[in-house]
A and B are shown apart, each in its own frame.
Chain A
């Protein structure tokens, strides 16, 4: 039986005001184009041991879409061919995919820095208990979601019992050296537990560092604030709770031109579990591919062709450009555009 929450596939909307990200950029004289690809972000599939309420992937335990070994080999070949410095592996819970460790090991052998979007609780799944040591042995940068330093908020978003397991997992990562010495990077991700924007990254990071250390003796490197994207489960939540109009207005009104320069789509290419290419993981989830003139599959990827490409946008792009901006690496601008 499916454990997925209801999903709506359509774009978010404002009843009274059309939302067009391209128009907003054009009004400011901005032509959104990619720079050199520095990060290859691979979404290896929708299988996950959790089913979080805000998940833009609609991932969960019953999902079966996962990357094959053959596609994983195409990914590594492209990484080597184009000498992309960073491989960013996400999901779902990427560790549950059979080709996950192959990707990490081969990317490290190719000289790439490897980031894994690790949900913490997956290390308690069968066959995953050596993950902290595996991450350490391959110098993986671990990026983990922890929406708040309190149980109530975390479990409200990620499921009952997730907070307690996450704390145990963080302790295990600390025990092998993560987040303790500046060498093995352990970065956490904050995202709002509801229909509002994240607070300034520096201030909530200080809260997390203090509270996690005092309450649980846990240390970490950086906290990234990420805005919830009006896609799939979070969009469904917005609609069910009557917050869609208000949230989309909030995103568009909080548009910050200073965040555009650092938008992750400008330096990243995204690959789905089938090997198809996108400008980012969010475009991937709504099926918006890269410019039609470009190769559409990772097997045909060429970094030179993709540099300077026009980015495909949609209403959800306001989520990355709102306030201090939002990306897989957290806030983008020093100011949040608020008066």
Chain B
């Protein structure tokens, strides 16, 4: 058995079998976040896809790839969102180069 099973995505609600009040609060908040607001559902789906890649969550990637298609995004737009997430992840690693330089500077003559 693999750690990640595709069918487990549709079993998400089973998490709510224990402490259902906590799961229900999460779901209410989660669903409210998806609705059209100052940002459109389409923009939110692209953000969700980008975050899913940053988190490298296969369930979220699967789910938000579908959401992006069903809110009207195409693969070019989705790929740009993925590059944004990746670029920020890359930048976040690279900016720590300053930490390295600081550390090296502290102990160097």
A interface residues (Cβ-Cβ under 8 A, vs B): 148, 150, 153, 192, 194, 196-200, 203-204, 207, 249, 323, 338-339
Name which residue of chain B comes closest to A207, CB basis. B72
Residues of A contacting B: mostly: loop
Q: Which residues of B contact A204 (CB under 8 A)?
A: 72
- Report whether B72 and A199 are in contact in the complex, using a CB–CB cutoff of 8 Å: yes
B35 within 8 A of A: yes
A283: shortest Cβ distance to chain B, in Å?
26
Q: How many A-B pairs with Cβ below 8 Å?
A: 31
B102 within 8 A of A: no
Residues of B contacting A: mostly: helix
Name which residue of chain A comes closest to B34, CB basis. A339
- Report whether B72 and A196 are in contact in the complex, using a CB–CB cutoff of 8 Å: no
A160: shortest Cβ distance to chain B, in Å?
19
- Report whether B70 and A197 are in contact in the complex, using a CB–CB cutoff of 8 Å: yes
Bound CA–CA A85/B58 (angstroms): 52
Contact code string B57-77 (vs A, CB < 8 Å = 1, else 0):
000000000100111101000
- Report whether A192 and B71 are in contact in the complex, using a CB–CB cutoff of 8 Å: no
- Report whether A339 and B31 are in contact in the complex, using a CB–CB cutoff of 8 Å: yes
A156: shortest Cβ distance to chain B, in Å?
11
Instruction: Name 7 A/B residue pairs within 8 A (Cβ), A-sorted.
Output: A148-B74, A150-B74, A196-B66, A198-B70, A199-B72, A203-B40, A204-B72
Bound CA–CA A199/B77 (angstroms): 15
Bound CA–CA A196/B45 (angstroms): 15
Bound CA–CA A192/B70 (angstroms): 8
- Report whether B70 and A203 are in contact in the complex, using a CB–CB cutoff of 8 Å: no
Ranked nearest first, the 5 interchain pairs of A and B with the lowest CB-CB distance are: A199-B72, A339-B31, A204-B72, A196-B69, A197-B70
B10 within 8 A of A: yes
A143: shortest Cβ distance to chain B, in Å?
20
A163: shortest Cβ distance to chain B, in Å?
14
- Report whether B31 and A199 are in contact in the complex, using a CB–CB cutoff of 8 Å: no
B interface residues (Cβ-Cβ under 8 A, vs A): 10, 31, 34-35, 40-42, 66, 69-72, 74
Q: Which residues of A contact B74 (CB under 8 A)?
A: 148, 150, 153
Bound CA–CA A192/B35 (angstroms): 22
- Report whether B31 and A203 are in contact in the complex, using a CB–CB cutoff of 8 Å: no
Bound CA–CA A199/B66 (angstroms): 11
Name which residue of chain A comes closest to B31, CB basis. A339
Tell which of B31, B34, B66, B71 touches A200, judged by Cβ atoms closer than 8 Å: B71
Name which residue of chain A comes closest to B36, CB basis. A200
Q: Which residues of A contact B70 (CB under 8 A)?
A: 192, 196-199, 323
Bound CA–CA A8/B7 (angstroms): 25
Among B35, B40, B72, the one with the most A-chain Cβ atoms within 10 Å of its Cβ is B72
Name which residue of chain B comes closest to A197, CB basis. B70
B65: shortest Cβ distance to chain A, in Å?
9
Bound CA–CA A150/B71 (angstroms): 17
Q: Which residues of B contact A192 (CB under 8 A)?
A: 69-70
Q: Which residues of B contact A249 (CB under 8 A)?
A: 10
Among A192, A198, A199, A249, the one with the most B-chain Cβ atoms within 10 Å of its Cβ is A199
- Report whether A339 and B35 are in contact in the complex, using a CB–CB cutoff of 8 Å: yes
Q: Beyond A148-B74, A200-B41, list 17 extra A-B contacts (CB 8 Å).
A: A150-B74, A192-B70, A194-B69, A196-B66, A196-B70, A197-B70, A198-B70, A199-B42, A199-B71, A199-B72, A200-B71, A200-B72, A203-B42, A203-B72, A204-B72, A339-B31, A339-B35
